[in-house]
Amino acid sequence: MSQSNTHFYLRNYKEIMNNSKLSDKAKSSILLSKAENTVDAYESDWMDFVDWCRHKQESFFPSSPEIIVNYINDLADYAKANTISRRISALSENFNASGIESNPCSAPIVKQAMRGIRRSLGTYQQGKTPVLLDDLMDIIEYMETADIAPIQKLRDKAILLLGFMGAFRRSELSALTVESLKFLPQGLEIFVSSSKADQEGQGAIVAIPYIENDSLCAVKAVKAWLRFVPITTGPIFRGFTKSMSVRKTAISDKSIADIVKYYIAAIGADPSLYGAHSLRHGFATTAAHYGVEERNIMKQTRHHSVNMVRRYINEANKFVDNPISSIFKSK
Where would I find the beta strands (DSSP E) of 96-211? 181-184, 187-192, 204-209
Q: Which residues of the chain have pLDDT under 70?
A: 1-4, 12-19, 21-22, 25-37, 122-127, 194-202, 305, 312, 315-322, 325-326, 329-331
- The answer to whether position 321 is within a domain reads no
Which CATH number belongs to the domain containing residue 205 in this structure?
1.10.443.10
Which residues touch 122 (CB under 8 Å, ≥6 apart)?
81
Scanning 32-105, the segments in alpha helix (DSSP H) are 36-56, 65-75, 81-98
Supply the range of the domain harboring residue 187. Answer: 133-316
Q: Are residues 198 and 223 in the same domain?
A: yes
Count of domains forming the chain = 2
* Residue after which a domain boundary falls, among 100, 121, 142: 121
- The answer to whether position 128 is within a domain reads no
Q: Are residues 111 and 14 in the same domain?
A: yes
- pLDDT for 266-294, tens place per residue? 999 999 999 988 999 899 888 888 878 88
- The answer to whether position 324 is within a domain reads no
Q: Are residues 293 and 149 in the same domain?
A: yes
- How many Å apart are CA 8 and CA 117, to the nearest integer? 26
Task: Kindly report the number of other CB atoms within 10 A of residue 37's CB atom.
Answer: 12
Q: Please, which residues bridge with residue 209 across strands?
A: 187
Q: Which residues are annotated as catalytic?
A: 169, 196, 277, 280, 303, 312
The mean of the pLDDT values for the chain is: 84
pLDDT for the residue numbered 1: 39
